[in-house]
Structure 1
Amino acid sequence: MIIGVPWWVIMMILFIFLSGYMAYRAMRAERRLEQQFIEREGRVFIDRMEKERETKDRKEFMSQ
């Protein structure tokens, strides 16, 4: 007993805090991965739009 509290109660409290910390780390890592995915997909979309604009400009130039 430490300060009138059984050792297993203190261990459980420590495990709760440890579990919360690990959940926070996992949530942060997941958010980082999600952000990377969004940026990569956004880049693909922007590249496709630029390619379509170039194709459209070429067609307009050739028709003149």
Structure 2
Amino acid sequence: MVLGVTWWVYIVIFLIFLSGIMAYRAMQAERKLEEEAAEKEGQIYMERLEMERDRRRQRSH
């Protein structure tokens, strides 16, 4: 025993710390996926707008 605390208490504290790190990494990965999905959706939207503009230009000529 170190400082009057049993060894399993240190293991529990370590696992809590490790769990926090893993949760933080998971949040970062999720945020990155959401940003990529939003960017892809925005790109699709911009392509549709451009196609509509081209279609309108062809109609007016």
User: Which bin holds the TM-score, normalised by the shorter protein?
Assistant: over 0.9
Q: Which segments of 5 or more consecutive residues in structure 2 lack a partner in the other structure?
A: none
Matched, 1:18 2:42: no
Matched, 1:40 2:40: yes
Paired position in structure 2 for 1:54: 54
Q: Segments of 4+ in structure 1 off by > 3 A?
A: none
Alpha-carbon deviation of 1:3? 1.4
- Which whole-Å CA distance do the structure 1 matches of 2:53 and 2:59 have between them? 10
Q: Which segments of 5 or more consecutive residues in structure 1 lack a partner in the other structure?
A: none
- Which whole-Å CA distance do the structure 2 matches of 1:46 and 1:38 have between them? 12
Q: Percent identity?
A: 49
- Which whole-Å CA distance do the structure 2 matches of 1:27 and 1:40 have between them? 20
Paired position in structure 1 for 2:29: 29
- State TM-score, norm by structure 1: 0.90
- State TM-score, norm by structure 2: 0.94
